Structures are given as structure tokens and as C-alpha cells.
Amino acid sequence: MLHRRGFWMAASLIGIVCLLSIQPSFPQKCEVRYPGLAACPNEHCTVVMVGKKASTDGSVISTHTSDCGSCDWTWRYVPAADHDQGATRRIYYFDQFGTDPPRKGLRWDAIEDNFTGFEIPEVSHTYGYLHGMFGYMNDNQVALGESTIGCREQMENSTSAPKFDITMLTLIAMERAKTAREAIQLMGDLAVKYGYGHTDSGEMLSVSDPNEVWIFEVMPVGPLWTPDSGQPGAVWCAQRVPDDHVSVCPNESRIGEIDLKNKDYFMASPNVVSFAVEQKFYDPKSGKPFNWKRAYCPSEYSAQSSFGSRGRLWRFMDLVAPSKQFSPGTPNMDLPFSIRPEKKLSVADVMVILRDKYDGTPFYTARGLQGGPFENPNLLPYGFELDGKKYDTGRCIGVNRAEYVTVTQSRDWLPDPIGGIVWIGFGAQDTHCLMPFYQGVTRIPESFEFGDHWEFDRRSARWAFDYVDFHTQVVYSYAIKDVRKAQEKWEKAAIDRTPEIDAYALQLYKKSPDQARQYLTDYCNNNANLVVNAWWSLGDELMVKYMHFWYYDIRERKREPLKYPEWWLREVVRYNQLSPQPETKK
């Protein structure tokens, strides 16, 4: 009897031990392999945020410069939809750096190829939204901007265990969120529950609505996370930008010390501190308060120490609060989370900031030889390598590799279809033109929906702007004046016209919201089509006007040689060891 009981007890024990061995527990401790270093990107997007009391008209403003150079630039409008009970939402992977040839069809039609095999319960109603690489603004004026901030390398999770990446999170937020806070909680919960990462590392989103703007930062928790571990699959934190402040995210984590008791200003995942402690990124016994960015994404650069490659943060602060005289030598991590601007910012002011090339600073990207004879600020945007050494050349906010740029306005004094505006500009900021799309639009131009970097196509709106950009680079100091005139004519005019469009749309809205939507759709599409056509014409004009480094006066049908600056001519004489022509005797 004892013998048999012993056998069964032993058998049970073996069974339990075997079962436990199926799924090892999620590692609680991991050595810090790269102390003090994080995988900090500096080539990508910039986000500017303006609280409603910091803008001239009460708008909450956010931006996204989708800086890449080889990524997708296509847009689509996703209409609102109702769903049956029991319906599910398919989850897809989106590689931010992925792009397909246009012959494969529209990007978002081909997305089935990237189905993760994972679905979540669908909600009964999903909101409509404008969709570029990310979701940008939905029916409730909830708006987003994105900047890759990186994280400690050992936190990255490029496996297929996490089911959400940043793009998918933004789409779900667009579909389901009524407010910025709802969007943050929703994205955070999904990331924690189903895992976050895949092709994305640490990411920042500006999340705004007509009342407020937040910075939301989310990071993976390492490649050994598994969905069945019961552990959070992400760590995240969010901080609200005070209403009378502005802020910026230039590929760097911006959230420092946090106060989770202050719920109006902070939100976070339950593991926000504990994960850092487990991973030895933060020692509670150090006597120092927990600091999100120092724990998860430390970097010790300043504008000065990085020769301007990490100068956007300092530059922004200096532009909006010049009297503070921020030093370019101040480590970025010591610069404030947000700041009250000395002058409230209009949407046009924000657009100017997005075009900044560090003018007037030691990091000016057209400084001296770097800009060549025509003061071109775009000649060396990535720095360069020489004799085995790498050199930085200044990474400005208005770098010339934007796929597109967005400026969103959320305005609480207008109904949502009129209050929300997404300004979209294709290509580099210095040569593009921002075009308004009210939240109420129900379609966008077809020319916005396709095209890629590798096949020139006159049907693609983006190529019109690249066409102008290409012809501007050759004789930048001359051609950019023509471009600015065109921007004045089209972009500034659209900004100036906004109150008039608002008023008429509101008049219609009171009678019929559908009529207002139709009017806004027609206005935005017509304006965009006119701008795209104008840019094709501008490209043609620039080609003729500056052909062969001459100036062809189109009206007068005369030509004259372009003037080269004396300093450059002296350099040519010096470097090429030119001798002056012998003086001829009179």
C-alpha cells in the first residue's frame, strides 16, 4: 500500500515538475550590458507641442516631421464604421521603414500580408481618421505626432512575441479614443497586455485633443518576454504639457521625474518603476528620485558636445524663450520638459520652427564651405566620414528627409469636424507647402494615396514637391526665394483664410453637419489639388529659370550669369592654386 502510494506521489511530483518546466518564468534580473548607453536615434522625427494657452488662438497644436528618406509617404482617409457584436479587430505589424513598390497596389490594401495572426475584440463603433504612416486625427480631434526615442538596447524586442508596434497602437487609438487621456490609457493597456516592440523600440507620441496635449512614451521590455508570462509586455509613462507651455521631442525621451499622485499630469504603466529596479536601471537606495528618461533612455549629449547633431532640443527652447539664454552646452537631459513661450505661438509660427536650419547659430547647416556657393543648408545632412573618422554637421529641425510633415490643430470652440485640422506638407519643409485638411473631410486627393521614392510618377502629389526640391538644391540661395514666394501665395493664404472657412463651415454645420463636411471636403481637396499643380509648375519654372547656372528672366526673355559669392571664389583660387590672368597693356 505504502509502495503504491509512494509511486503515485512520485508520479504526481514528476508531472508537476514537468509542467513547470514547460514555461520558464520571465527573467526578473538582467545584467546591464551597456550602462549609460541607450540606442538613441537621431535621424528621425521631430514633434512640437503647444498647449491651448500657449497658442495665439487657443488651438492645441502638435506636429510630426516624418523624417526618414526611404519610408512610405502615402495617406488615406479611414471612415467611421459600426461593427457587429462579436466582431474582431485584426492586428498587423507595420514596419515604419518598410515601403512597397506602387505596382503592389495601395499600401493599406496590401496590409493583409502583415497580419500577425492575432485579433482583439472589436468595439461597436470606430471613429474615422486621417492616416499616414500613423493615425493623425480622429473624429474627436484626438491628434498624434510621433518621434522615435529608442531605449536601452537590452529592452528592445524585435521578436514576434509582442503583437503591437507603435503604428498599430496609433490606429487603435484613432479608432477608439474620445480624448487624449483615453488614447494614452488604451495604447498603454494594449502594449502591456499583448506586448510592444517588434520593429519598434522606444517611441514617443504627442497625444492631444481640444483641451490638452500629452507626451506618451512607451518601450519594450526585452526579447525574452512572452505573452503567457503574466508579466507586462511594455513599460510606459505619460506627462501632460501644461496648457500655457510648449514642448518638443527630437528623438529623445522627455519625461524625467514623475509624480503619479498628480493624475492630471502623469499616467504610467504599473511597472513603471519596478521594471527599472528589476533590471537595475534604477536603484531606489540611491537616494535619488526615479527619473524615467535616465532609467530607460539615458543619453549624455548636449547640442555643443554633439556638434549640433543633438541640438534640436536646445534650439527649440532658444527659439521660444530666447531671454532664458539656454546654453548649447547644457546636457539635453537637463533642459526642461516644457517651457512657457515668451510669445504665444500661432500655427504659422510653428511652421517656421519646423523649417529651422539653425540660422544664426554655430550649427547653421549652410555655414561656410558646408553650404557651397549657393548657401545650401541641405548638402551634408547626415554628416560624413573621412579618413576613418565621422563628422557631424548639425541635425536641424528642418532636415531635408521628411516624407511629410503634419501640423495638427485641435480647437475646442468649434464642432469637431471644423475644429480639427491636419496640415499636411509632402517632402522637405523648406520647399514644401502645408495644406489644410479639416477633420470633417470624407476623402483626400487620389494623388496622396500612392507613390514611392524609387519610381517618379506625376500622378503622385509627393513627387510635385520633390520636383521643386530637386531644382531648388542646385542654386539654393536663388531658388529658395521663388519657393518662399509660392509658400506665401498658397500656404500663408490658406492660414489667413482659415477664419473665413471656419465661419462658413459653422454656418452650414448649424443647418446640416453633412453639408459642412461636404463643403470642407471640397475646399480641402480643391486647395490641395491647386497646390500640387502649382508645385509642378514651380518645378518647371525653376528648371528654366536657373538652367546651366544662368538666370533666365522668363518675362524679359533675357539671361545673365548667376553671381557667385566672393568668399567662395577666393577659396577656388586658393584651393585650385589659380593664377590671375596676366594684365594686358593698354
- Triad 466, 469, 471: Cα angle to 5°: 115
Stretch that binds other proteins, among 46-54, 221-229, 334-342, 545-553 (CB under 8 A): 221-229
- Residue ranges in 191-220 that form contacts with other proteins under rule CB under 8 A: 198-199, 201
- SS3 (DSSP) at 405: strand
Residue closer to other proteins (CB basis): 156 or 482: 156
Residue 226 as a binder of other proteins (CB under 8 A): the answer is yes
Residue 307 as a binder of other proteins (CB under 8 A): the answer is no
Q: Which amino acid is at 504?
A: Y
- Residue ranges in 90-109 that form contacts with other proteins under rule CB under 8 A: 93, 95, 97
Q: How many residues bind other proteins (CB under 8 A)?
A: 40
CA distances from 550 to 374, 545, 547 (A): 13, 8, 6
Least distance between other proteins and beta carbon 352 (Å): 31
Return the C-alpha torsion angle 292, 297, 298, 304, nearest 10: -120
Residue 67 as a binder of other proteins (CB under 8 A): the answer is no
- SS3 (DSSP) at 523: helix
Residue 80 as a binder of other proteins (CB under 8 A): the answer is no
Residue 18 as a binder of other proteins (CB under 8 A): the answer is yes
- SS3 (DSSP) at 511: helix
Binding string, 348-387, against other proteins, x = CB under 8 A? -------------------------------------x--
Residue 17 as a binder of other proteins (CB under 8 A): the answer is yes
For residues 51 and 322, give the distance between their C-alpha atoms in angstroms, rounded to a whole number.
19
**Helices assigned H by DSSP within 130-255:** 166-176, 180-194
Least distance between other proteins and beta carbon 456 (Å): 21
Residue 6 as a binder of other proteins (CB under 8 A): the answer is no
DSSP 435: E
Backbone angles phi, psi at 367, to 5 degrees: -65, 130
Residue 24 as a binder of other proteins (CB under 8 A): the answer is yes
Cell readout for 524 is 480641402
Residue closer to other proteins (CB basis): 152 or 545: 152
Nearest to 117 by CA among 53, 158, 160, 180: 160
Residue closer to other proteins (CB basis): 391 or 567: 391
Least distance between other proteins and beta carbon 437 (Å): 30
Binding string, 413-452, against other proteins, x = CB under 8 A? ----------------------------------------
For residues 459 and 461, give the distance between their C-alpha atoms in angstroms, rounded to a whole number.
6
Interface residue with other proteins among 56, 88, 124, 158 (CB under 8 A) is 158
Backbone angles phi, psi at 451, to 5 degrees: 115, 155
Instruction: Report yes or no: 44 and 381 within 8 Å, Cβ to Cβ.
Output: no
Interface residue with other proteins among 223, 336, 415, 565 (CB under 8 A) is 223
Stretch that binds other proteins, among 22-30, 50-58, 174-182, 348-356 (CB under 8 A): 22-30
Nearest to 363 by CA among 318, 393, 387, 386: 393
Residue 280 as a binder of other proteins (CB under 8 A): the answer is no
Backbone angles phi, psi at 311, to 5 degrees: -105, 0
Least distance between other proteins and beta carbon 277 (Å): 18
Instruction: Report yes or no: 451 and 465 within 8 Å, Cβ to Cβ.
Output: no
Residue 246 as a binder of other proteins (CB under 8 A): the answer is no
Residue closer to other proteins (CB basis): 254 or 395: 395
Grid cell 497602437 is found at 169
DSSP characters over 57-102: SS-EEEEEEEE-SSS----EEE--EE--TT-EEEEE---TT----G
Residue 526 as a binder of other proteins (CB under 8 A): the answer is no
Grid cell 498599430 is found at 168
Residue 213 forms beta bridges with which residues?
A: 208, 241
Interface residue with other proteins among 6, 14, 368, 569 (CB under 8 A) is 14
For residues 194 and 230, give the distance between their C-alpha atoms in angstroms, rounded to a whole number.
10
Stretch that binds other proteins, among 154-162, 254-262, 323-331, 433-441 (CB under 8 A): 154-162
Give one word for 500, left, alpha or beta, with left for phi > 0 and alpha for psi -120 to 50. alpha
Residue 154 as a binder of other proteins (CB under 8 A): the answer is yes
Interface residue with other proteins among 2, 19, 112, 574 (CB under 8 A) is 19
Residue 16 as a binder of other proteins (CB under 8 A): the answer is yes
Residue 305 as a binder of other proteins (CB under 8 A): the answer is no
Interface residue with other proteins among 31, 556, 560, 583 (CB under 8 A) is 31
- Site for other proteins, rule CB under 8 A: 4, 8, 11-12, 14-19, 21-22, 24, 26-27, 30-31, 33, 70, 93, 95, 97, 153-154, 156-161, 198-199, 201, 222-226, 385, 390
